Amino acid sequence: MSNCIFCKILNKEIPSEFIYEDETCFAINDINPKAKKHILVIPKEHIESLNEVENFDLIKKLFEAIKKINKKENITHFKTLINTGSKAGQEVMHLHIHILSD
Protein backbone atom coordinates (compact mmCIF):
# COMPACT_ATOMS: atom_id res chain seq x y z
CA MET A 1 0.00 0.00 0.00
CA SER A 2 1.67 3.17 -1.21
CA ASN A 3 0.55 5.57 1.53
CA CYS A 4 0.89 3.16 4.45
CA ILE A 5 3.56 4.04 7.04
CA PHE A 6 4.39 0.41 7.84
CA CYS A 7 4.65 -0.55 4.14
CA LYS A 8 6.96 2.45 3.68
CA ILE A 9 9.11 1.28 6.60
CA LEU A 10 9.22 -2.24 5.12
CA ASN A 11 10.23 -0.82 1.72
CA LYS A 12 12.91 1.38 3.39
CA GLU A 13 11.17 4.57 2.21
CA ILE A 14 11.09 5.59 5.89
CA PRO A 15 14.21 4.62 7.84
CA SER A 16 13.59 2.46 10.90
CA GLU A 17 15.76 -0.11 12.66
CA PHE A 18 14.42 -3.64 12.31
CA ILE A 19 14.93 -5.45 15.59
CA TYR A 20 13.63 -8.69 14.06
CA GLU A 21 12.76 -9.92 10.59
CA ASP A 22 11.66 -13.20 9.03
CA GLU A 23 9.81 -14.19 5.87
CA THR A 24 6.41 -13.24 7.37
CA CYS A 25 6.99 -10.19 9.54
CA PHE A 26 9.33 -7.61 10.98
CA ALA A 27 9.54 -5.76 14.29
CA ILE A 28 10.45 -2.18 15.17
CA ASN A 29 10.49 -0.08 18.31
CA ASP A 30 7.41 2.12 18.60
CA ILE A 31 8.22 5.76 17.82
CA ASN A 32 6.08 6.91 20.75
CA PRO A 33 6.63 4.23 23.42
CA LYS A 34 3.90 3.71 26.01
CA ALA A 35 6.10 1.39 28.12
CA LYS A 36 9.84 0.96 28.77
CA LYS A 37 9.89 -1.50 25.91
CA HIS A 38 7.28 -1.03 23.20
CA ILE A 39 7.74 -3.13 20.09
CA LEU A 40 5.51 -3.45 17.06
CA VAL A 41 5.32 -6.78 15.23
CA ILE A 42 4.13 -6.18 11.70
CA PRO A 43 3.26 -8.68 8.94
CA LYS A 44 4.99 -7.94 5.63
CA GLU A 45 1.69 -8.39 3.83
CA HIS A 46 -0.50 -5.28 3.95
CA ILE A 47 -3.62 -6.38 5.81
CA GLU A 48 -5.67 -3.55 7.28
CA SER A 49 -6.65 -5.13 10.55
CA LEU A 50 -7.61 -8.35 12.33
CA ASN A 51 -11.02 -8.01 10.68
CA GLU A 52 -9.43 -8.64 7.28
CA VAL A 53 -7.42 -11.73 8.32
CA GLU A 54 -8.65 -14.87 6.57
CA ASN A 55 -5.76 -17.26 7.10
CA PHE A 56 -5.03 -17.44 10.81
CA ASP A 57 -1.72 -19.24 10.18
CA LEU A 58 -0.46 -15.65 9.94
CA ILE A 59 -1.47 -14.92 13.53
CA LYS A 60 0.27 -18.09 14.68
CA LYS A 61 3.45 -16.99 12.88
CA LEU A 62 3.27 -13.53 14.44
CA PHE A 63 3.06 -15.02 17.93
CA GLU A 64 5.93 -17.39 17.14
CA ALA A 65 7.91 -14.29 16.15
CA ILE A 66 6.90 -12.57 19.40
CA LYS A 67 8.39 -15.45 21.38
CA LYS A 68 11.68 -15.12 19.47
CA ILE A 69 11.72 -11.32 19.80
CA ASN A 70 11.10 -11.51 23.53
CA LYS A 71 13.93 -14.00 23.96
CA LYS A 72 16.27 -11.72 22.00
CA GLU A 73 15.17 -8.63 23.96
CA ASN A 74 15.16 -10.39 27.36
CA ILE A 75 11.46 -9.72 27.78
CA THR A 76 9.78 -12.15 30.16
CA HIS A 77 6.79 -10.09 31.37
CA PHE A 78 4.74 -8.35 28.74
CA LYS A 79 1.38 -7.41 27.37
CA THR A 80 0.29 -7.90 23.77
CA LEU A 81 -2.27 -5.64 22.17
CA ILE A 82 -4.03 -5.52 18.82
CA ASN A 83 -6.18 -2.44 18.23
CA THR A 84 -8.80 -3.16 15.59
CA GLY A 85 -10.64 -0.25 14.00
CA SER A 86 -10.20 3.48 14.57
CA LYS A 87 -12.91 3.49 17.24
CA ALA A 88 -10.75 1.05 19.23
CA GLY A 89 -7.67 3.25 18.82
CA GLN A 90 -6.12 1.77 15.68
CA GLU A 91 -4.14 4.62 14.10
CA VAL A 92 -2.12 2.74 11.49
CA MET A 93 -4.38 0.71 9.22
CA HIS A 94 -1.87 -2.10 8.72
CA LEU A 95 -2.25 -5.01 11.15
CA HIS A 96 0.30 -5.03 13.96
CA ILE A 97 0.74 -6.49 17.43
CA HIS A 98 2.10 -4.31 20.23
CA ILE A 99 4.49 -5.84 22.79
CA LEU A 100 4.57 -3.72 25.95
CA SER A 101 6.96 -4.41 28.81
CA ASP A 102 8.38 -2.55 31.79
Does residue 3 bind ligand 5GP (CB under 6 A)?
no
Annotated catalytic residue 96: yes
Q: Is 31 in the site for ligand 5GP (CB under 6 A)?
A: yes
For ligand 5GP, which is the closer residue by CB, 16 or 101?
Answer: 16
Q: Which is catalytic among the residues 38, 77, 94, 96?
A: 96
CA distance 19 to 40: 10
Partner touching 10 among Zn ion, ligand 5GP, none, CB below 5 to 8 Å by kind: none
Distance, CA of 50 to CA of 41 (rounded, Å):
13
Member of 19, 24, 30, 53 binding ligand 5GP (CB under 6 A): 30
**DSSP 3-state of 39:** strand
Spatial distance between the Cα atoms of 21 and 98, rounded to a whole number of angstroms: 15
